[in-house]
Each structure stands twice: as structure tokens, then as C-alpha cells.
Amino acid sequence: MAVDMKIPPVGESITEVTVGTWYKKEGDQVKMDDVLCGLDSDKATFELTAEADGILHILAQEGDVLPIGASICTIDNGDGAAAPAPTAEPAKAEAPKPAEQAAPAPAAEPAAAPVSSASSVIEMKVPAVGESVTEVTIASWSKKDGDQVALDEVLCELESDKATFELPAEAAGTLRIMAQAGETLPIGALIAKIEVGAGASAPAATPAPQPAASTPAAETAPSNGQNGYAAHYPSPAAAKILDEKGVSTQQVQGSGVGGRITKEDALKASPAPAQPAAPAAQPTAPKPATPTPAPAPAPVAAGARSQRREKMTSLRRTIARRLVAVKNETAMLTTFNEVDMKAVMDLRNKYKDKFKEKNGVGLGFMSFFTKAVCVALKDFPAVNAQIDGDQMIFNDFCDISIAVSTDRGLVVPVIRNAEQLSFAGIEKEIVRLAGLARDNKLTIDQMTGGTFTITNGGTFGSMLSTPIINAPQSAILGMHNIVERPVVVNGEIVVRPIMYLALSYDHRIIDGKESVSFLVRVKQILEDPSRLLFDM
């Protein structure tokens, strides 16, 4: 009976994929969950795994573009189930005769190994983490292949374009890693297996008779791959790095499952044979030419012009994609104003100690700006709105997004219903969300649904900037550093703490009058915070 393998759905907006590299050949014996080929979509690259044991029959070639649901290959599991049993016994009785058939013999033997342990293997797949998240990147593994793991023990850290989360073990047993750190997987893809109970020892026992059945030592290499990978076979990420370095896979010793070359192996590899070739050519040169090549390698050996490549994380790729999209898809403009921060600073200095004693949190500038923004958004609802197709959505609530810088990139958690919160409530929420962001514990819900964004570049010393809108929102307020400047007050030159404010807005929905008036309203409230008491 043949199992029809079809292109799986990988996201709401993805309708077709391109067949990448086939890791198996036509007629190969494959095992359940072996990686058959790579599939490329317009958003991600993922791997297609076998749905059964059997003989592979390829229906689509590399480079073919297939729609979701189209057949890509079949697996004939009728012959595949019966083949391993008879080939294991004749291999011992007729060792001299199958010498010419040494290659197919080990291919059939490993297929029999997982049969006995299939019922005791737990498949770990990438969980769904949000409606808009279609793929994740493996940031790091906390465990190694073959380690014994306990139930709910953290196996690895997964990174999406919005958050980072941990993957716990679904059972206790032996871990078999199916994807290496740095690889990007779609939601629902196989990431690891856990061999539970007696099944954990089955794969270890089956490879033992294989070296006895096939005397050549070279045949042991293909039989190592419990996941279908032979020694010196690189992962997709490792293959790209080795190609860039110009290093052959035969020169790299793989540390992965079955001798598979991992990304870490590729990063450590260096084209060592290429360096001795240069000095070897020098003795053949004539005597006058000997001094001339000597100064040439000197600057190269200095090492001052080294380069380093790193794959962009999902979060960084998403940030880059969204920022470019905002610049291309919105009519973004920026208007500026300056605020005299003396009134806010005096009020803060007067009450900050009592405020912290009562509420257990410090009184910062962000709560003043958040309250001022909420008042101004009620007066100018277009600034709190967004465009959806040919419609405008107006929000009667203020979900304020606060930009937080982390080691992994910029994240924007949301303060829900900020207009209803007190100063203490806002400060507590800011501290809580900022802590979750820096610990990479933010959830998708905590970073979606904001109606307006505040970003504070002044914490890093920025004097003036033009912040980019946080789509699908229509405006963002940029705060900057506070600098004492000479200003004219009541006809006299005085020194005051001044902050420049920048409001970037989408001119498609917000007119110039509304944007300028909104920023002036924020300025008025901050320069006279008592307005907040009387809602003025």
C-alpha cells in the first residue's frame, strides 16, 4: 500500500511552495520521520518528513512549484515492511555472495530498527504560539542528543518573530534531536523525539549486528543515522556555511546524530589545507622574486580585516521586514515640538519618595507621558485609529505600546486600557512588562493589539529622531533626552530642562492639523500637569 505525501499547509497566506533539495533518492528505503526534502515558501524554508516506512517514489523534482495539498511523493510501505525481515537473516548466512549488494543491505537494516520502538516514541512538534506566527527558530538546546530527560524538563528555547519561549519534554525518556540550533521550522514541524521505556534501548541494540553482517568498515557510516543522515552529511544551515567557507564536508567531523554535521561544526571548520599551499609555491620562484611575495602575506596575516557572518534571528528579520513595509506602505510624516519639563520634574522630585513608599514602585516620566497621551487621544481620535483596507477603525480605548530594547531586539509590550489606570498602575505595568521583555518571557497577546506607541530614545542619549510607525497603528510618539537650554520665559532668558518630542504619523488618516494639535496638547499637559486633575 502506497502512502501519498502531499504539501502540508504552512500558513494562511502561503498558497504554494518550491521543492528545494531532495535528501533521499528515488527508490531509497526511508523510515518514519526521515527528512525527505526541503520546501521553500515566500516566508520560510521547512523540511518534509516521511509519514511512513517504505520505498520512496519521487513525483516532483527540485525547483518545481507546487500548490498546497499537491502530491510530492509516495511511500510504498507494502514492500518496505516485509523487506527488512528476510534480508537480515541471509546477510549472515551468505556473507560472500551479497558483497556486490553491500550498499542496499545496510539501507534495509536500519529500516527495521524503528519498527520495534515506534509504539514507544513520543514525537515533539513545534507548538502553535499565536495566530500570526507561522515559524520559529531554534535558539539553543538545553539538552544533547541521547540525553535522558524528565517530564516537563526544558529541552530547548524557541524564538519567534514576537517572543521567545521554552519547549518542555512531553514524556520521560531518551531525547533524539531532529533539528539543530539555528534552524527555522514551521508550526507543527517535528523538532525532536523521546524514546520512552524499553523502546529507548531498541535503537541502540539494532546497529550492533550491522558491522558483523557487512565486513567493510566504510559501510558503518550510513548505518549510524537513526534520523536518516549519514556521516559527513550537513544540515541545511551547516551546508550554507561550509559553502561560504569553501570547506568540503569530508574535511569536517560531524558531532550530530549519526555523524551529521551541525551548524556548530561548520562554524568551527576552517579551510586549513588552503594555507600551506601559498608557502609551498615560494621555493619554486626565482631568487629575485623571493623578497616580493614576503611583504604580500604580511597584511593578510595581521587579522585586522576579519569578517563574521551571523544568521538573522526571526525577530530581527520580522523587524526589518515590518520597518521596510511601513516606509513603503504609509504616507509617514513627522512633526516636532519641545517641552519644558520643569513642572514635571519638580512634581516628581517632590513626591517620588512618598510615591515609592506607598506603591512600591518608582515615579518615572513614562507615567506622565502615558497619561498625557491618553488625554490627547480622546481629543484627537484619528491619532488613535488605524486603516483596514478601505475602512478606518476608531478605538474608544487606549492600549499604549511601550517600546523596550532587549538583547534580541526591539519589542513593544502593550499597556491595556491605560486611560483607566492611575500613575501607580501605569508604573507597575511598565516595570512588569519591561521585566518580562528582558527575560524573554513576553507572550504574543502581550505584544499585540496596541493603538498608539511611545518610544524613549532619550535613555540612550538621543537628542532628536524620527521614529517609525508601529503598524498597523497610525502614530508613534518619540521622547528624547532632557537638556538644560536657555529659553525665554516672560521676556527673560532662563535655563530650563527641555525635551524635544517627535510625532510620526500616517498622513493617509491623520491630517497635518490633527497631528500638530495632538502634539501641542501633549505639550500643554506636560508643562502644566495639574490639567490632569481637572481633565483640561
* Same domain, yes or no: 368 and 403: yes
Q: Closest by alpha carbon to 191, among 126, 288, 282, 260?
A: 126
Which has more confidence, 69 or 82?
69
Work out the mean pLDDT of the chain and round it to a whole number. Answer: 79
89, part of any domain: no
Residue 379's domain comprises: 325-534
Please report, for the domain that includes residue 240, its CATH number: 4.10.320.10
* Same domain, yes or no: 517 and 434: yes
- Are 227 and 178 in contact by the 8 Å Cβ rule? The answer is yes
* Same domain, yes or no: 209 and 256: no
Q: Does residue 4 carry a pLDDT above 50?
A: yes
* Same domain, yes or no: 466 and 362: yes
523, part of any domain: yes
Model confidence at 43, pLDDT cuts 50, 70, 90, reads: low
Domain boundary (191, 215, 239) is at 215
* Same domain, yes or no: 488 and 427: yes
433, part of any domain: yes
Q: Which of 379, 445, 507, 528 is catalytic?
A: 507
* Same domain, yes or no: 241 and 141: no
Q: Does residue 87 carry a pLDDT above 70?
A: no
75, part of any domain: yes
Q: Does residue 212 carry a pLDDT above 50?
A: no
Strands 414-415 and 16-22, sheet pairing: unpaired
107, part of any domain: no
Q: So what's the pLDDT on residue 501?
A: 97
How many domains does one find in the chain? 4
d(CA 176, CA 201): 12
Which has more confidence, 93 or 483?
483
Exposure of 473 in the CB half-sphere (CA atoms within 13 A):
29
Q: So what's the pLDDT on residue 450?
A: 93
Q: What is the DSSP letter of 289?
A: G
Catalytic residue list contains 511: yes
Please report, for the domain that includes residue 460, its CATH number: 3.30.559.10
Q: Which of 445, 511, 528, 535 is catalytic?
A: 511
Q: Closest by alpha carbon to 486, among 476, 477, 474, 498?
A: 498
208, part of any domain: yes
* Same domain, yes or no: 15 and 161: no
* Same domain, yes or no: 339 and 431: yes
Mean pLDDT on 369-383: 95
Mean pLDDT on 104-122: 49
* Same domain, yes or no: 172 and 202: yes
Q: Does residue 334 carry a pLDDT above 60?
A: yes
CA 41 to chain centre: 16
147-199 residue pLDDT tens? 999 888 889 888 876 677 788 888 888 999 998 888 888 888 899 999 887 44
* Same domain, yes or no: 122 and 1: no
Q: In what order do the strands lie in the sheet with 29-30?
A: 2-6, 71-76, 54-58, 29-30
* Same domain, yes or no: 349 and 403: yes
308, part of any domain: no
Q: So what's the pLDDT on residue 384?
A: 96
Q: So what's the pLDDT on residue 12?
A: 63
Strands 400-402 and 452-456, sheet pairing: parallel
27-36 residue pLDDT tens? 899 988 888 9
Model confidence at 99, pLDDT cuts 50, 70, 90, reads: very low
Q: So what's the pLDDT on residue 413?
A: 93
Q: So what's the pLDDT on residue 459?
A: 87
Q: Does residue 473 carry a pLDDT above 90?
A: yes
Q: Does residue 402 carry a pLDDT above 90?
A: yes
Please report, for the domain that includes residue 140, its CATH number: 2.40.50.100
* Same domain, yes or no: 211 and 268: no
77, part of any domain: yes
Domain boundary (82, 100, 129) is at 82
Domain boundary (215, 240, 263) is at 215
